[in-house]
Amino acid sequence: MTSFGISPAAADPTGQPDLITAGIEAADGSRIAEVEHIDGGGIRLQIYSAAMDKTFPVEIQRPADTSRPRPSLYLLNGLDAGESVASWQAQTDVRQFVSDKNVNLILPIGGKASYYTDWVKDDPKLGRNKWKTYLTEELPPLIDAALGTDGIRAIAGISTSGTSVLALPIAKPGLYRAAAAYSGCAQTSDPLGAYFVQTAVGMGGGDAKNMWGPLNSPEWVANDPYVHAEELRGLELYFSSGDGRQGEYDTIDGRKSQLDGIKTQIDGMNDQLGPMGLVNQIMVGGTIESATYYCTRNLEKKLASLDIPATFHYAPGTHSWGYWQNEFKESWPVLARGMGLAE
């Protein structure tokens, strides 16, 4: 078994996908337990997390050109954490979009309703959550060693992970050089932000008191990116939100044009292209997006007051995948700049 301290995997001078093998292990016991090659030239790793004593999948798409080390973009899912059909892979064309880019696309799976943070207690429903440790200490060095990356990283995420992609760079300064949050809410410790967090965790079956303790405990403030916005200085930043009004994907034809007959994030059913699916998207998704719009506007004012540059984009739309697919592409120049890539 390979341990850290040796040279990472070398880039393939032929430009072909390199062969990644299981067995790379970190000093803390985290390791790559299994490697599988999947459709479209992708790779699925099974990563054992020592902090959570559990194995989680990570899907990877390699750069267009693997002849030299490349940066990595970590792309996080929302409340379901990619465990259902509510995932970037199932609902969008992001893999196709980056297929000609020189970046390692890293798609962690797991961590439903966890906010990708370290919980203070194990949860009866959600179990042990040490996702901050996983995403800042365990996974990146394993990925770097396995893929022979250049050690440069960016991170992006939707909805609940729109909070996480700000909290993680704050928790581990220098780990990421760019961050993009789509339809997220940076606030966690003020009454409204805490309500959002409690509601989201509860929807996933968890108890937010097991995450950061009772309301007003120090962990709620410690994990609040809005409070600690100064620590985002130096990152390339992109933020977006719809305003809750109906947009281009909030019609039956609009949903069909983006979803192309596949499942949606609403409830995992096969047929969500009819009227009831649309009503859910407009009513539920519109309400949620109105809240993320409020949060994103607040963060825009906060960063402006701190003279921290960031790109913000707003448009009509609900809390749904068509808009996130668009916003990922809109944010690419910002992410690419942070990773030192040509747009």
pTM: 0.91
**pLDDT in the model for residue 295:** 96
Q: What is the pLDDT of residues 47-71, one digit of tens each?
A: 999 999 999 999 999 999 999 999 9
How far apart (Å, rounded) are the C-alpha atoms in residues 141 and 299? 31
- For the chain, 343 residues long, give each residue's pLDDT as a single digit of tens: 444 433 344 444 444 445 577 789 988 999 999 999 887 778 999 999 999 999 999 999 999 999 999 999 999 999 999 998 889 988 888 999 999 999 999 999 999 999 999 999 999 999 999 999 999 999 999 999 999 999 999 999 999 999 999 999 999 999 999 999 999 999 999 999 999 999 999 999 999 999 999 998 999 999 999 999 999 999 999 999 999 898 888 887 887 777 665 544 444 454 555 677 777 788 888 899 999 999 999 999 999 999 999 999 999 999 988 999 999 999 999 999 999 998 6
Sign of the dihedral defined by the CA atoms of residues 321, 324, 328, 330, in that order:
positive
Residue identified by tokens 């000609």 is 100
Task: Give 163-203 as a DSSP string.
Answer: HHHHHHHHHSTTS-SEEEEES-----SSHHHHHHHHHHHHH
Cβ–Cβ contacts within 10 Å for residue 245, how many? 15
Task: Give 280-291 as a DSSP string.
Answer: HHHHHHHHHHHH
Q: In what order do the strands lie in the sheet with 2-3?
A: 2-3, 24-25, 31-37, 43-49, 54-61, 104-108, 72-76, 153-158, 178-182, 236-242, 311-315
Cα-atom radius of gyration of the chain, to the nearest Å? 19
Nearest CA to 166 among 148, 150, 185?
185
Nearest CA to 140 among 152, 129, 130, 128?
152
